[in-house]
Structure 1
Amino acid sequence: MPLIDMPLEQLKKYEGINPRPDDFDAYWDRALKEMKAVDPNVELVKAKFQVPFAECYDLYFTGVRGARIHAKYVKPVHTEGKHPAVVQFHGYTGNAGDWNDKLNYAALGFSVVSMDCRGQGGTSEDPGGVKGTTHQGHIIRGLDDHEDRLAFRDIFLDCAQLAGIVMELPEVDPDRVGAMGGSQGGALTIACAALEPRIKRLAPVFPFLSDYRRVWEMDMAKDAYSELRTYFRHHDPQHVREEEVFKRLGYIDIQYLAPRVRGEVLMAVGLMDTICPPSTQFAAYNKITAPKQLEIFPDFGHEHLPGFNDKAMMFLSKL
């Protein structure tokens, strides 16, 4: 088969090359402490869209730095006692999507919550206010400010905070909560389960936001990663700060959050992925120490992977 990356046997052993900050664990412990100190002020507003077997709500909560975060919440109505839930995360620049695409899990008796990432295509707030460039993307937002101001730090925390909120809903069994998503959503699924380790099952698909230096060295800083190239061209054209930049990006590199995951993992990767190179995905997967299974699609890229949604549903339905 054609190759755009390493041979599969090398991918299975690949450990990533982006530098890991020395204070990585302290960084995220400090971030979680900040998150837990926030009063989320949760609000549920009944949506106009309704179906006979579920109730649909707009859910709002306050995240770090005062941002008001929005998610869509679907609750099944014909269940007895506490039931499982699944938290869904969308792709880069997108939003929580339509109500109807959450009804399959609601029909199985799951509560479903789908978050709008702050500052992207939904209605969640982005307070902004960072020093340095905010041009073109969230990977580089806050890169020239204090490391606590990195945009994806706050987005990762929103994911964990929302999962915790869902676990506290009276109708949800906190021991039966899963997470899922593709691309950015796959990265957020891993980050969520890392920062909220009570997540029991997670189904990430071709996760984004991993092993930034590998993306750069493969000359694939385009499409979703194009802001890396834009940043260097405008702010460090001779790469004087290259080591510093990639080390700072290490704070928001999911491969280094992956060892914190405790839930069981079902992940999918396409070996022809030119958006999120396979090696970057394996860098994260190979660091997961929890029970895990990888579904490999040799001829597919960053696209629909036939049959995986069905496998993910069967996997999550065991909750």
Structure 2
Amino acid sequence: MPTIDMPLKELQTYSGLNPRPADFDDYWERALAEMRAVDAAVELVPSEFQTPSAECFDLYFTGVRGARIHAKYARPRLAERPHPAVVQFHGYSGNAGDWTDKLGIVSLGFSIFALDVRGQGGYSQDGGGVTGTTLNGHIIRGLDDHPDELLFRHVFLDCAQLAGIALGSPEVDPERVYAMGGSQGGALTIACAALEPRVKKLAPVFPFLSDYRRVWQMDLAKDAYAELRTYFRHFDPQHKREDEIFTKLGYIDIQHLANRIRGEVMMGVGLMDTICPPSTQFAAYNKITAPKRLEIYPDFGHEGLPGFNDKTIRFFLGDY
């Protein structure tokens, strides 16, 4: 078959290039302790958008560093209680999407919690306050500061915190909380289930934010990863700090979080993906030790994967 990356046989054993910081586990335990110490002050505000079958709310909570985070929350009006729930994550620079996108899941008796990533296209706050560049991208945000200031550290914690809110909702069955998303949303699905291992099933699609050094090696630091090239050109033009920079990015590399997942995984990947190269996705998938399976689309890139959304719903319903 045609390929833009390794042959499939090699992808199936690829273990990643980007360094894992020596204190990675301590880093994330410290981060989780900070998250758990936050008073979330959850607020539900009824939305102007309502339907006869779905009750819709703007949900706000306080995340780490005091940021007020927004999510769309829709629940079925007449479903059994407790019932299943899905936590949904969007692509890079986007937002939680329209309410109508949520109604199909709600019609099946699920609640859905859809995050606005802080500082991107929705209503969640990015409090700022880091040393160094904030130009053109969130991967490099905080890279010149202490590793605890990396923006995606905070975003990953927001994902886990929202899943915790879903798990603690009286109408939700904590044994049936699931997560899904594509691209950045796929990365956040993995990070969410890694940091909140009570998530029972997850369906990431072509996850972003994995194996940064491999992206660089393939000369694909463009499009969604363009800020890596921008950073080197401005702040390390001779790559004297290359090892240090990629090691620091290792704190927010989802491949290093993947082995913490305890829920069942169904991941979609297109083998012609030049935005999030297949090898970077396999670097994360191959480290998952929980029950898992791949849905492979050999001729597809970073685009809709036919049938995968239907498979996701069937996976959550338990019949696929």
- Answer yes or no: is 1:146 the counterpart of 2:116: no
Question: What secondary structure sits across from 1:275 in the alignment?
Answer: coil
Alignment of 1:174-193 (within 5 A): 174-193=174-193
Match of residue 198 from structure 2: 198
1:32-86 per-residue CA deviation (whole Å, 9 max, x = no partner) reads 0000000000000000001111100000000000000000000101112200000
Residue 96 of structure 1 corresponds to 96
Distance 1:188 1:209 in 2: 9
> Alignment partner of 2:266: what SS?
strand
**1:304 aligns to what?**
304
Q: Are 1:115 and 2:115 counterparts?
A: yes
2:79 is aligned to 79
* 1:236 aligns to 2:236 (yes or no): yes
Q: Does the Cα contact within 8 Å between 2:80 and 2:109 map onto a contact in 1?
A: no
- For the 8 Å contact 1:15–1:283, the answer to whether it is kept is yes
1:109-145 per-residue CA deviation (whole Å, 9 max, x = no partner) reads 0000100000000010000000000010000000000
Amino acid paired to 1:98: D
Question: Corresponding residue for 2:49?
Answer: 49
Unaligned runs of 5+ in 1: none
CA distance in 1 between partners of 2:318 and 2:198 (Å): 16
What is the TM-score when the length of structure 1 is the normalising length? 0.99
Runs of 4+ in 1 over 3 A off after TM superposition: none
Residue number in structure 2 paired with 1:166: 166
- Whether contact under 8 Å (2:271, 2:297) holds in the other structure is yes
The one-letter code sitting in structure 1 at the alignment partner of 2:123 is T
Paired residue secondary structure (1:71):
strand
1:212 is matched with which residue?
A: 212
CA contact (8 A) 1:108 1:317 kept: no
| Per-residue deviation, residues 5-49 of structure 1 (Å, max 9, x unmatched) | 000000000000100000000000000000000000000000000
**CA-based RMSD:** 0.7
1:80-104 deviations in Å (ceiling 9; x for gaps): 2200000000000000000000111
Displacement of 1:200: 0.1
The corresponding residue for 1:259 is 259
Alignment correspondent of 1:106: 106
Mapped partners of 2:136, 2:30: distance in 1: 28
Corresponding letter in the other structure for 1:315: F
Which AA in structure 2 matches 1:241?
R
**Residue matched to 2:28:** 28
Q: TM-score, normalised by structure 2?
A: 0.99
Residue 211 of structure 1 aligns to which amino acid in structure 2?
Answer: D
Deviations 1:231-255 (A, max 9, x none): 0000000001000000000000000
What letter matches 1:75 in structure 2? R
Q: How many residues align?
A: 319
Residue 318 of structure 1, CA deviation: 2.5
Deviations 1:147-187 (A, max 9, x none): 00000000000000000011111101111100000000000
User: What are the ranges of 5 or more consecutive residues in structure 2 without an aligned counterpart?
Assistant: none
Measured in 1, the distance between the counterparts of 2:215 and 2:22 equals 22
**Aligned counterpart, 1:10:** 10
Judge conservation of contact 1:270–1:299 (CA < 8 Å) in 2.
yes
